[in-house]
A and B are shown apart, each in its own frame.
Chain A
Amino acid sequence: MSLELLRDKAGERRVVRSRLAVVSVVLILVFGAILGRVGYLQIAQYEQLTARSQDNRVRLAPVDATRGLILDRAGRTLAENRPAFSLTIVPEQVADMDALLSNLDALIDISEAERAAFAEARARSRSFQEIPLRLQLREETVAELAINRHRFPGVEVRPRLARHYPYGRVGAHVVGYVGRINERELRQGDPNQYRSTSLTGKTGVERFYEPRLQGELGIEHIETNALGRAIATLDRRPPTPGEDVQLTLDIELQRLAEETLGDYRGAIVALDPRNGEVLALASQPRFDPNTLAGGIDQDTLNALNRDVTQPLFNRAIAGRYPPGSIVKPFLGLAATAEGYINPNETLYCDGTFELPDVSRVWRDWKPEGHGHVDLTQSVAQSCDIYFYELANDMGIDAMHEWMSRFGYGQPTGIDLPSERSGVMPSRTWKRNTLGEPWYTGETINTGIGQGFTLATPIQMATSTALIANRGQPVRPQLLAKPEALSLGPTIEPIELAEESHWQHAWDGMIETVHGSRGTARRLGEDLDFRMAGKTGTAQVVGIAQDEEYDEETLDARFHDHALFTAFAPVDAPRIAVAVVVENGGSGSQTAAPMAKTVVEAWLSRTDG
């Protein structure tokens, strides 16, 4: 306080005031310079620049570049450019606009909205400018107009290229769609590159690989007369077409995966574990990119956005689900590596688990329990009690560290926009997001992939590939170009002291499908190759302690999510899949058969 009183207040004020005086002088100088420059242009250069403005004859017009194609791994076209025709009218060449419009109406049925938009555009344009009446003409209409051309002076049919997606809904979330560039996107990019008419990728590959696909605008130098009317094209800097983008996706496998999901909401991801190539990335429900590309009407877009099933949302990379029991092989591996468990020792499971000083009882999904189970059997039968014990021994810190090493809680780095990272909870995470300390009970829930844990289907598939590779991580990759693969995975390789630890994780997953008590044993019955898998059934709502989960009485929105992860064939894995079916009930009944369909189809199509 005494220091404050000793401060030389007047002196400090003088410091700032003298600087403010300097600023005032600078202000006068700078504004003087601007005024001087403008004055120089407007007085001294007036004659010369007026002359230049009067015979300002050459105007620049952008010429759109042809957008690159998007192809699947077999070279099938997923996105292409199709000629489309728009109908425009030059008002000054029309003697009687009303008569013309009613004549046209007889031919092409002009809507009220089109009429209004045309009238508005006409009001703000010059009479020699072409005004669009309709952007997309049907081919029959184009032919008819061509025949009747003499009846419609001033009417022009203009060709342009429109984006088209031959497979429609199939792979729509991956491929994405293009739309008219908006003001915000315009300001983000290089303003010299984009001009008013350009289309830009809005989602998916169209968005992620926009810089490759878009190419470079050309410029046309148009000679105009003093009123601005175009007379001739003097010169043209041709546009550079965009590059084609080939994907690793197999559109037929993609179609199969989507159709397998059927009316369920959910996602299926299929990867090649050897290199991370994405073979299928299905998300249901779907949307039709052709209705979105190049001018969708507001009502359709609003309806899509308001749809509670969120068809525009790519569940495969952005849907976050409790992973449930599919975390078990991972936790078993981690606990073995860290010495928390001996994988060969058995534990007696009586169907309940209790913590000292906690009144709550944790139950197994099988009320009577599994009896004596070792690690392999606990994975195969998906014994919850084994993993409650394991989680309790391991603690949340070690679980968080290991699950993060497997890639949970972080983006996989797939080449698509809007990937979500999911949640792998930790003490720090909980303190930061909920402001609460970590409770032991939450550790127990984390042991079976419930509680706060959330994972995306792409994470589940990528981590399954990691197990299939015995610790060698991959980065999921849609671009079928080897140089882009040099990006590398986002996680480090996992090296275990004993290679045999991997085999325990494998054994559990193989037993799941091929063992006599495995949760997905029905799958193994008629397989002509060996597959490793893990079922998961994730609770959507908390079921109270003594309540039974009863599908009949529960609203469908609260039914369990069904999950399944798998890789095959066991002797040389060529495919890793993750299936998530929202409210699908049990993993073994709903998700596992879907995974089988996809894996079988892929393996039967590719040999080695």
Chain B
Amino acid sequence: MDNLNWSTVNVNEAARRASGGLLQRMLRLDGLLVGLLLLNAALGLLVLYSAFGGRIEPIQSHLLRLGVGFFLMMIIAQIPPWRLAPMAPWLFGVGALMLAAVLVIGEFGGGARRWLDLGVVGFQPAELMKVALPMMLAWLLAQRPLPASANQTLLAIGVIVLPVAMIGVQPDLGTAILVGTAGAAVLFLAGVAWRLIVALGVLLLAAAPLLWIFGMQDYQRNRVLTFLDPERDPLGAGYNIIQAQIAIGSGGVFGKGWMNGTQAHLDFIPEQHTDFVFAVLAEELGLLGVIILLSLYGLIIARSLWIAREAQDNFSRLLAGALALTFFVYCSINMGMVAGLLPVVGLPLPLVSYGGSSMVTLLAGFGILMSIHSHRRMWSA
């Protein structure tokens, strides 16, 4: 490659790579990460099967979606980072245009506009943004030496605010938070000065009352109030939170046993196959199950962070780090919400919750991570 942005060859490394595993050399996959993802998905299937009361059809369609996700991951892993980087601004542009299109002409339903109707399939452009925004920022910030200068930072903040605002007004608070975090993650990794981070934090806190008054729908405000005090409306909005916690707590250390959760099977847990599936796991598999899930998530994130650390150019580093962080935030928000640490935000539990295009996006992100890792030391020859 003639692109000098990419680091120079290290002959020793190249030799070492040649002896790497088959998965990495031929399929461009990361064996460890693939293994962890598969284990996690398997655990998810187990929990889902119980949450669906032993029905097989939803499990089949879930498997199908998993298959599509893993396939997409494999395809994306074949695209080397130096081809990915120049695509970033285009992908971002297309994503932003589609978001704008959703606001203007998007399918209208129940007060929220999120879908773009592309003939047969509905498509949520916000999903694309989850990957396109960090790519765009990594590309942008990799143009200049790190740490990012004040000008670069300001420009980057602009790039973050645009899509986040468009998703926020759809309104889709959960996704807006995720996309915003993915963007902020890139900035953070790019070494933005701590005092700037503190200043931004203060600014956000100051803006919170404004968001409360102008930026939120009634039902969203209600959720926050209910989070602060679930007993405020124990049979209404607080019901879900209370029942989820009863489910978790009554699971104890060893759980009530697979398929034996009373809270889950008597329909006390709301949204038990989607956003609240963590409660089913905690009830049936107990603290041990939670520890296993947390370990799997932890290892997946640790491996992703390691890939970021080992990446050989700024674009790859920033992007890999941001993808790892997004996944981390995803898991944390969902588990935090179900465990009663955070207000209810409509986000699924990654690789476990039923359905949703979000799983496919997540796996696409892991495809990028694997590409970054498996294409090390090959470029700028």
Contact = CB atoms under 8 A, between A and B. Distances in A.
B112 interface: yes
B321 A23 contact: yes
Interface stretch (A85-93, A180-188, A267-275, A398-406): A180-188
A49 B249 contact: yes
A59 B4 contact: no
A4 B5 contact: yes
Interface string A22-47: 01100100110111011101110110
A190 interface: yes
B340 A37 contact: yes
Nearest to A30: B332
B262 interface: yes
Given A16-B189, A42-B253, A56 B263 contact: yes
Given A34-B294, A210-B110, A16 B308 contact: yes
B239 interface: yes
Contacts of B107: 188
Interface string B277-296: 00000100011001100100
Contacts of B243: 56
Given A24-B305, A37-B341, A221 B235 contact: yes
B122 A42 contact: no
A48 interface: yes
Contact of B290 (A33, A38, A235): A38
A357 B237 CA distance: 75
B114 interface: yes
Contacts of B239: 60
A417 interface: yes
Contacts of A189: 109-112
Contacts, number: 180
Given A31-B294, A50-B249, A42 B271 contact: no
A27 B109 contact: no
A34 B287 contact: no
Interface in B331-372: 332, 335-336, 339-341, 346, 355
A41 B110 contact: no
Given A23-B321, A190-B219, A221-B235, A59 B266 contact: yes
Contact of B336 (A13, A34, A48, A237): A34
A185 to B, nearest CB: 6
A18 B290 CA distance: 30
B328 interface: yes
A53 interface: yes
A495 B353 CA distance: 59
A96 interface: no
A138 interface: no
B164 interface: no
Given A19-B321, A42-B249, A56-B268, A183 B355 contact: yes
A50 B252 contact: yes
B119 interface: no
A45 B249 contact: yes
A12 B290 CA distance: 38
B188 interface: yes
A543 interface: no
B189 A20 contact: yes
A415 to B, nearest CB: 11
B346 to A, nearest CB: 7
A426 to B, nearest CB: 19
Interface string B233-255: 00111010001011111111100
A34 B332 contact: yes
A194 B8 CA distance: 57
Interface in A189-230: 189-194, 200, 210-211, 219, 221, 224, 228
Given A13-B317, A49-B246, A56-B268, A43 B302 contact: no
* Residue among A4, A16, A48 having the largest count of chain B Cβ atoms under 10 Å: A16
Nearest to A16: B317
A492 B54 CA distance: 60
A8 interface: yes
Interface in B188-226: 188-191, 217, 219
A434 interface: no
A358 interface: no
B176 interface: no
27 contacts: A11-B146, A12-B314, A15-B190, A15-B191, A16-B146, A16-B317, A16-B321, A20-B305, A24-B302, A30-B328, A30-B336, A31-B298, A34-B341, A35-B294, A42-B249, A42-B253, A42-B282, A42-B287, A46-B249, A48-B249, A49-B249, A50-B252, A52-B250, A124-B55, A190-B111, A190-B217, A219-B236
Given A16-B146, A31-B332, A56-B262, 4 more contacts: A12-B145, A37-B336, A56-B243, A58-B235
Interface of B: 4-5, 7, 53-55, 107-115, 122, 145-147, 188-191, 217, 219, 235-237, 239, 243, 245-253, 262-263, 265-268, 271, 282, 286-287, 290-291, 294, 297-298, 301-302, 305, 308-309, 314, 317-318, 321, 324-325, 328, 332, 335-336, 339-341, 346, 355
Interface of A: 1, 4, 7-9, 11-13, 15-20, 23-24, 27, 30-31, 33-35, 37-39, 41-43, 45-46, 48-50, 52-54, 56, 58-60, 124, 183-185, 187-194, 200, 210-211, 219, 221, 224, 228, 235, 237, 417
